Amino acid sequence: MKRRTLSALAAIAAAASFVFSGSAWAQGKYVHANNSGYDNLDPHVVFDVGRAASRINFYDGLLRWVDNPPKMIPWLAESYTASDDGKTWTFKLKKGVKFHDGSEFTADDVLYSIERMLATKKGASSLFLPIIMPGSTKAPDKYTVVFTLKEPSAIFLSTVPEILIVNSQLVKKNEKDGDWGQAWLAKNVASTGSYKLKRYDPAIGFVGERFKDHFAGWGPKAFDEIEFRTVLETNTRVQGLIKGDIQGTDGYLPYDQILRLKEAKNVQILEQESMRVFYFNIHNGRGPMSDVHFRRALAYAFDYDGFVKDILKGAVSRNAGPNPNNLWGSPKDLKPYTYDLEKAKAELALVKEPIRPITIGTLAGFSETEQAATLLQNGAKKIGIDIKIESAPWPVIQTRMQDREKNYDMVPLWKSTYYVDPNNWVGEMYASRYIGTRNTSYINDPEMDKWLDEALAISDQDKRSVLYEKAVTKATDQAFGIYVYNTRWYGPYAANVAGIRFSPIGSGQDMRWAYYK
């Protein structure tokens, strides 16, 4: 009986050793754990920061953002020119560029790609729908594309990298019932991009295989394969990196997790100042927030130092206004608000409207927004303003913010980089043309509109900068929002990963430059 028991135990031990053993990654393969799902690979559908990796690594644009501060470099286009009135943009394309299936990239592919974006009206299309009419883009020859805008647009060039080029012939072959190939392109890739799709499972993620014939060439040690997996749980991503199962994860982890990773010997944290401003969005279209003195009182009631230095351990940079510190278009001497309850009380005394309790909506799962709201609640209570905090998932917050009646009084959130231009921040936040979409402060200020609209219509950066500086100064002085910090990006990678080129657009997930030391 005893021998049988021992034999059984030995069998269990053998089975356990078979079941439990570590895993290893192949040489030249990079595995990244991402906090969003890769449910769709269509580059004209996906436009959120969380799913940037499939867009950047599988697809190319005419221009491309790299590095920090971001530089826009020619990519599928070799050059471009603009007409004097800023309405006509001519792009000369690189010759001899191959798609993954070996066919040649031409101007027809650019035309198809922009028409597809305008027709499907998803993803980044909202950047182009107001300024490009369907059918207005032309190809005078095989390697030239001419965009004719409805009106001059100073931001058009900085949004061109978002026009990602698909293989028109291949997509057309897979169109079904006039769907512009959406069903097919959701799980296939048709591009010239750095990596070819090798495996894809919407539930897991994707594997890309290096496209050796990519027109931009390759460094000697570039990854042969990249694998991006969905791992929703933050703790699992962090532990996976420490354990060595993955070689990288998202760069906006909670700071306590960054500190944990900094202690791991096999992990490196790359640091860069990003362009992601954390601020309180204030509903200026409703009393008492419509009163400048009330807004100023709130701005003086927030403990900036306590938040930045104590809660966030100095992991971020104080940002005085709506534009990120490291971008042009902000006055160098912009004076930030400080935590000063006496000034807050003085401002509050000037408020003419009746004071009422206000509601802050915080983003469930984003503890920083809850911490910031609680800190403001504490400061406001000391000057006699009651604040109620409601937590909800981002889709709930977003829906309510875009509805003037249902919008919260305040929402702490981040304004990320979709294109590198001050219009991405102060313009979209406070120009009335964006009310209900990106202007969820419901600011409708003719003076702001004059500056911001003019800055959109002229191309001279010096002149534009002056206009944006005026707008930023007014937004800060009038406390259209409470501006807190500009995010630092803490890119967590395995210690042997090198060559990461962080850019605020793409958040360090452009893997064509990276390699193992």
Partner 1 sequence: MRRLEMILSRLVWFVPTMAGLVVIVFLISNVIPTDPVKVLLGENATPAQIEAMRVKLGYDQPLWVQLARHFHDIVSGNLGTSIYSQRPISEDLATRLPATLELTLTAIIVSVALGIPLGVISALKRNSLLDHILRVVSVSGLAIAAFWLALLLQFFFAMKLGVAPLNSRIDGFGPTPVTGLMIIDSMLDWDMESLHSALSHIALPALTLALPAAATIVRFTRAGVLDVINSNHVLYQRAMGLPPGLIVWKYVLRNALISTVTQIGLIFGVLVTNAVIVETVFDWPGMGTFAVQSILQSDHKAIIGFTIWIGALIVIVNLLVDITHSFIDPRGSR
**Range 24-28, long-range pairs (CB < 8 A, 24+ positions):** 25/245, 25/247, 26/225, 27/516, 28/223, 28/224, 28/225, 28/516
Q: Which of 103, 236, 326, 377 binds partner 1 (CB under 8 A)?
A: 236
The distance of closest approach from Cβ of residue 254 to partner 1 in the complex, given in angstroms and rounded to an integer, is 16
Q: Which of 332, 352, 406, 517 binds partner 1 (CB under 8 A)?
A: 406
Q: Which residue number, 42 or 409, has a Cβ lying nearer to partner 1?
A: 42
Q: Which of 47, 215, 513, 516 binds partner 1 (CB under 8 A)?
A: 47
- What is the rounded CA–CA span in Å between residue 354 and residue 343? 19
Q: SS3 of 258, please?
A: helix
**Stretch binding partner 1 (CB under 8 A), from 269-277, 347-355, 400-408, 472-480:** 400-408
Q: Which of 78, 108, 141, 201 binds partner 1 (CB under 8 A)?
A: 201
Q: Which residue number, 9 or 232, has a Cβ lying nearer to partner 1?
A: 232
Q: Residue 105 is encoded by which pair of tokens?
A: 């990239």
The distance of closest approach from Cβ of residue 349 to partner 1 in the complex, given in angstroms and rounded to an integer, is 36
According to DSSP H, which parts of 103-167 are helical?
Answer: 107-120, 156-159
Q: Which of residues 167-196 bind partner 1 (CB under 8 A)?
A: 182-183, 186-187
- What is the rounded CA–CA span in Å between residue 295 and residue 479? 6
In degrees, rounded to 5, the angle at the alpha carbon of residue 510 between the alpha carbons of residues 506 and 515 is: 145
Q: Which residue number, 88 or 398, has a Cβ lying nearer to partner 1?
A: 398
CA 133 to chain centre: 26
CB atoms within 10 A of CB 17: 9
Q: Report DSSP letters for 413-430, one per residue.
A: EEE--SSSSGGGTHHHHH
Q: Which amino acid is at 300?
A: Y
Q: Which of 39, 85, 101, 271 binds partner 1 (CB under 8 A)?
A: 39
Query: What burial class does residue 117 get, using C-beta atoms within 10 Å of its C-beta: 0-12 exposed, 13-18 middle, 19+ buried?
Result: buried
Q: Does 223 bind partner 1 (CB under 8 A)?
A: no
Q: Which of residues 97-156 bind partner 1 (CB under 8 A)?
A: 121-127, 129-130
The distance of closest approach from Cβ of residue 281 to partner 1 in the complex, given in angstroms and rounded to an integer, is 11
The distance of closest approach from Cβ of residue 53 to partner 1 in the complex, given in angstroms and rounded to an integer, is 16
Q: Which residue number, 74 or 202, has a Cβ lying nearer to partner 1?
A: 202
The distance of closest approach from Cβ of residue 204 to partner 1 in the complex, given in angstroms and rounded to an integer, is 5
In degrees, rounded to 5, the angle at the alpha carbon of residue 71 between the alpha carbons of residues 69 and 74 is: 170
Q: Does 437 bind partner 1 (CB under 8 A)?
A: yes
Q: Does 402 bind partner 1 (CB under 8 A)?
A: yes
Backbone angles phi, psi at 5, to 5 degrees: -65, -45
Site residues for partner 1 per CB under 8 A:
16, 18-23, 33, 37, 39-40, 42, 45, 47-48, 121-127, 129-130, 182-183, 186-187, 199, 201-204, 207, 227, 229-233, 235-236, 239-240, 242-243, 245, 365, 392-396, 398-400, 402, 406, 418, 436-438
